[in-house]
A and B are shown apart, each in its own frame.
Chain A
Amino acid sequence: MTERAMSAAAAAPSGAHARTLRSAERIGSTIFVGALQGSCWLFLLIVGGLAAELIWGARLSLKTFGIGFLWSSQWNPVTEQFGALPFIYGTVVTSVIALVLAAIVGIMSAIYLAEFAPRRLGAYLGLLIELLAAVPSIVYGLWGLFVLAPLVANWIGPGLQDALGFLPFFQGTIYGVNMLTAALILTLMIVPTITAITRDLIIAIPMRMREAALALGATPWETAYKVILPSVTRGIVGACLLAFGRALGETIATTMVIGNRPVISASLFAPGYTIASVIANEFTEATSDLYLSALIELGLILLIVSLIVIGMGRLMVRLFVR
């Protein structure tokens, strides 16, 4: 576009004509850059507006409970005593476990799909994995409740308890609906994001890098591990952060399987609660002002938690990835 306009300008017989063309082009590029900028400002506006709206909606709760809201474990709609700690705990713990599991499975499957799988198989498997991302979360939730929860209660839970029962995370009564089940459902939901992005990143690596590694005598495994992976680390971290964001905010699926009890227990076999779940559960029937306000403040906290987590992820990239 630019080149064509320039050559047209050069070929133009009269200077005036060239000037109008050049100014037309300037206007075009101004509009273009403006549109680019505008779409970014739009996001800023939306996030800013969201934060402002949440703070405004939460003002009653902020005023009543102050900073203590963050570490109070009370959640009593009858006496209107509200605190956020069990929800923050449940949200962070389930999401972190999900992220760790999903990152391991996701990155490994992506390497296989991009580097080792026969081409056709890779294409089909990739399609299947992407399909997982399109399954509605209520379907995951119901499947989790009716299939995964009994599985955890009768097989996975007892198995883990036998093997690792000495750890506090795997002690106590095994409920079907618990933090572990929620984490497993979340894993399933965020794996496709990590796998799909990582696979695309690996595919985009120029062939010569692999050829060079092989020429130096590296095995395919060494090539994948020492050449391919390091060159896409930054992108993988980005994929993980995106996936983590989804896990933090996931509502219905976790609500179905986490047990919805606002307590903090070390054991993953005990029920827990997440911020998004309590909002989904109680918002529709919360009629008093303070109750509503406390739920909105939870939304604000979720926004802040996400911000901190994403910030930390970025920081880690800066510190550890060159």
Chain B
Amino acid sequence: MATGEHREEEDLTDTGSHGRKATRRLVLGAALGCTAWYGTMLAGAPAALAATQIVGAGSTFDFPFFSKAFYDYTEKHPDVTVNYQSIGSGGGIQQFTAKTVDFGASDVPMNSAELTRAGGPVLQIPITLGGAGVAYNLPGIEKGMHLTREVIADIYLGKITKWNDPAIAKLNPGMKLPDMAITVVHRSDGSGTTYIFTDFLSSVSPEWKSKVGTNKDVQWPAPSSVGGKGNEGVAGLVKQTPGSIGYVELAYLLQNQMTYAQVQNKAGTYVYPSVDTVAAAAATKPDVSSTNFSIVDTSCAQCYPISGYSWVMLYKAPADPTRGKLVKEIMTWLATDAQPIAKTVDYVPLPENVQKTALSVLGEMQ
């Protein structure tokens, strides 16, 4: 127990009064420095607060596009800042209903029950597009495996459990598919991407529709399924689990060099998920509205079948007319002139016919 006995003596010799004074001075200096820095920050803050601040909340999916677009908007209009909080679509609808924000954003438009609760007329406009790519991890197999809509549904239903299943092998004659169990990866957090993906599965498989359904989160039927949180969670699981398959949001998929499949669309062509193929799917339905918004499984040669819109909610008659006018201005810009910005962050710009639809809805705003 010699160590214990030495303890007190060493305390005195180690840090003598000189050393301690120096340390104390250092700590004091650091604390003063921090205070000064904090003070300058506070002094600088009021200048930023002088601009009108428009507040929005909702979908995390929209965030990369919104933050880029609103940054550009403030560059052009230094007197306006838009503060968008990506708290999730559910949170966005709640905040919007509670009237704490100027606009809300959601991957799925508010339904009739939610609209009644909003307590006033609500306008919903499509604002950007996304899709879900089907990524996989098979040793030795490159990007571009062919998958049909039915095969994807059967994999997610747990009916196809091996990669060398004849149903998959038939679609990929040149590939040496391994005798490997399929691990089905899905999003564990409620998400718009899951909504689009299950919407797709429901429209191609009656069995999926009756057994599972369409939602931002569902009860996943495949016995070998695991959930990852967020796109990064799903991507991480797919990358490290040989034999896995998972759906990942388009922008994330494109930016992270994943191995993903070509999916057969209703017209019979195999297409990669991309900005163009998702836009092609959207263009087939110019009269999109908040009650009829599904664009999965569309039929055209270049249509990517797993696509969907994201929405912005606005009050038809805003409580503060001047703010309302500003919001209308920003949203008009966002739905039209700002759309090319989407491409820079691998989001899909609205096709022109859909921009027109959005504008006509915005026109109703007072």
Contact = CB atoms under 8 A, between A and B. Distances in A.
B226 interface: yes
Contacts of A259: 226-227
B112 interface: no
A45 B144 CA distance: 60
B299 interface: no
A231 B50 CA distance: 62
A94 to B, nearest CB: 15
Given A260-B226, A285-B217, A287-B114, A119 B6 contact: yes
Contacts of B241: 153, 175-176
Given A77-B219, A261-B220, A287-B90, A116 B189 contact: no
Most chain B beta-carbon neighbours within 10 Å: one of A74, A211, A287: A287
Interface stretch (B162-170, B232-240, B311-319): B232-240
Interface residues of B, number: 41
Interface in B1-36: 1, 3-7, 10
A177 B228 contact: yes
Chain B CB within 10 Å — which of A122, A260, A282 has the most?
Answer: A260
Contacts of B227: 259-261, 271, 281
Interface in A275-304: 277, 280-287
Contacts of A122: 3
B225 interface: yes
A173 B218 CA distance: 23
B87 interface: yes
B353 to A, nearest CB: 29
A112 to B, nearest CB: 11
A207 B4 contact: yes
A78 B229 contact: no
A262 B5 CA distance: 54
Contacts of B214: 78
Given A76-B219, A255-B229, A176 B89 contact: no
A146 interface: yes
A44 interface: no
Interface string A206-223: 010011001000001001
A207 B233 CA distance: 52
A271 B224 CA distance: 9
Nearest to A117: B3
B181 to A, nearest CB: 7
B3 A150 contact: no
Contacts of A2: none
A115 B225 CA distance: 48
A283 B90 contact: yes
A74 to B, nearest CB: 8
Q: Which has the most chain A C-beta neighbours within 10 Å: B218, B220, B236? A: B236
A118 interface: yes
A281 B220 CA distance: 15
Contacts of B190: 77, 281-282, 284-286
Give the most central of B114, B181, B188: most A CB within 10 Å. Answer: B188
A285 B3 contact: no
Contacts of B308: none
A76 B229 contact: no
A209 B10 CA distance: 21
Contacts of B149: none
Contacts of B88: 284-285
Nearest to B92: A284
A244 B214 CA distance: 38
Given A145-B233, A173-B181, A286-B90, A119 B7 contact: yes
A256 interface: yes
Nearest to A292: B90
A119 B229 contact: no
B90 A284 contact: yes
B215 interface: yes
A170 interface: no
A175 B87 contact: no
A75 interface: yes
Contacts of B265: none
A177 B226 contact: yes
Nearest to A263: B223
A261 to B, nearest CB: 6
Interface in A7-32: none
Contacts of A256: 228-229, 233
Interface string A188-203: 0000000000000000
A124 B241 CA distance: 38
Interface string A64-77: 00000000001111
A260 B188 contact: yes
B93 interface: yes
B90 A285 contact: yes
B10 A146 contact: no
B240 A78 contact: no
19 contacts: A76-B219, A77-B190, A77-B216, A78-B214, A118-B3, A150-B240, A177-B228, A207-B4, A207-B5, A210-B4, A214-B1, A256-B228, A261-B227, A282-B190, A284-B60, A284-B91, A285-B89, A287-B89, A287-B90
3 interchain residue pairs of minimum CB distance? A285-B190, A284-B88, A260-B227
Given A177-B228, A281-B190, 7 more contacts: A116-B3, A119-B3, A177-B237, A261-B225, A281-B227, A285-B189, A285-B190
